[in-house]
Amino acid sequence: MSEINLNTYAPNTWCPGCGNFAILNAIKTVLKSLVDEGLPFENIVLVSGIGCHAKIVDYINANSFYSIHGRVTPPCEGIKLANPNLKVIGFAGDGDAYGEGIEHLIFAAKRNMDITMIIHNNRVYGLTTGQYTPTSPFGFKGRSTPQGTKELPINPLEVMLASGATFLSRGTSHGMEQLKKIFKEAIMHKGFALVDVLQVCVTYFNMYDYYDKKVYELKEHDPADYEKAHALIREWDYNKDAPIALGVLYRKEAPTFDNTFLTPPVSGGVDREAKIRELLSEAI
């Protein structure tokens, strides 16, 4: 295992038992193994939004971009466009990615931008002390909805599939080993990868027992099969009582935006001054 020290001096302020610890520990292991396999450590860039999830970048001693609420995806895309050699991993909450910033997520998927989005989906706003999110079940009683929500949750994986994501997966914060596997596959995937982590908020929405009863690990599934992936994604809609599949649900090889969009650098560099003069003389 790599010698790199990923710890920081930032005191960890997550609640004891928080599902974020599993994500933190899993990603640290994965980052170390990627470096062991030859990925230059400085090429790793972590991006987070605002919310409990986002503190993860304070806890990992690596390049990081601690963004604002709802805006994890666009910096990931900007960083990747600026330098396609970078491994860009975005961490976002469900309020962050599926609420305030869902437009960006949809477009990043549509572009098949080669980034990895890890969603800490605890289905509740933690840091703002317990309101419903886009994935809270119908009737969820939060501080802004004391009578229970009157709206159904969205199924983020279905939204992502429809948007053109080329890697969709789900894990839970009770399955660290599986998380490591999924994270690594997601990061290695060439294209837009999303991991929806059913990350439990022990303080405001403790779903450990429920998930433990409902989840099952995918065994024989072929993620290249779009129809089967779609059916699996629809099996549980984040609301009804149904089995919850964990693992890689969908995977597709497709051209990525950063590869197809970027103009290859002009060999020998650009003589900007000469080109400016040329443009000016054309305008006479």
Partner 1 sequence: MEEFSILIGGKAGFGIDKASSTIAGILNQLSYRIYLYRDYPSLIRGGHTFSIVRASPQKIAAHKNKIDFLLALNQDTLTFHKNRLKETSITIYDSDTVKADDLPGGVKRAAVAIGKIIKEENASEIMRNTCMIGSFCKAAGIGWAILEKVLKKEITKEIDLNLKVARRGFNETSESLKVPPIKQDKLPVLNGSETLSLGLIAAGLKSYIAYPMTPSSNILHFMANVAKDFGLIVMHPESEIGVIMMALGASYAGKKTAVGTSGGGFCLMTEGLSFAGMSELPIVIILGQRPGPSTGLPTYSSQTEMNFAINAGQGEFTRLVAAPSDAEDAYFWGGVSLNLAWKYQIPAIILMDKTIAEGAYSFDRAAAGEVKEETFPAWDRKDRYKRYLVTETGVSPLAFVPGKDAIIKINSYEHDESGITTEDPAITKQMQETRLRKEKFLIQELERYKSVGIYGKTDSDQAILCWGSNKGVSIEVAEKMGLKVITLSVLCPFPVNQFKKAVEGVKKMILVENSATGQLANLINRYGFKVDSNVLKYDGRPFTVDELEEELGRIIK
- Which one of 33, 61, 203, 239 is in contact with partner 1 (CB under 8 A)? 61
Amino acid at site 227:
E
- Which one of 33, 63, 128, 206 is in contact with partner 1 (CB under 8 A)? 63
One symbol per residue from 198 to 227: x for binding partner 1 (CB under 8 A), - otherwise; what is it? ------------------------------
Taking the CA of residue 164 as centre, how many other CA atoms within 13 Å lie in the half-sphere pointing to its CB? 16
Under rule CB under 8 A, residue 126 binds partner 1: no
Separation of alpha carbons 79 and 115, rounded Å? 10
- Which one of 62, 117, 198, 215 is in contact with partner 1 (CB under 8 A)? 62
Q: Select from 63, 143, 158 the least CA-distant residue to 109.
A: 158
- Of 7 and 25, nearer to partner 1 (C-beta) is 7
Exposed, middle or buried, 147 (CB in 10 Å: 0-12/13-18/19+)?
Answer: exposed
Restricting to residues 239-268, which ones interact with partner 1 according to CB under 8 A? Answer: 261-263, 265-266
Count residues near partner 1 (CB under 8 A): 54
Residue 8 has a CB neighbour count (10 Å cut-off) of 14
Residue 117 has a CB neighbour count (10 Å cut-off) of 28
Backbone angles phi, psi at 191, to 5 degrees: 140, -170
Binding segment toward partner 1, per CB under 8 A, in 83-91, 123-131, 146-154, 227-235: 83-91
Query: Which structure tokens are listed for 113?
Result: 């931008």
Under rule CB under 8 A, residue 273 binds partner 1: yes
Binding segment toward partner 1, per CB under 8 A, in 43-51, 124-132, 156-164, 229-237: 43-51
Binding segment toward partner 1, per CB under 8 A, in 78-86, 170-178, 216-224, 234-242: 78-86
Backbone angles phi, psi at 47, to 5 degrees: -125, 140
Q: Evaluate the CA torsion angle 255, 257, 261, 265 in order and state its sign.
A: negative
Angle, helices 176-188/20-36, rounded to nearest 10 degrees: 50
Query: Which spans of this chain sit near partner 1 (rule: CB under 8 A)?
Result: 8-10, 40, 42-43, 45, 47, 50, 55, 57-58, 61-68, 71, 74-83, 85-86, 103-104, 106-107, 261-263, 265-266, 269-270, 272-273, 275-276, 279-284
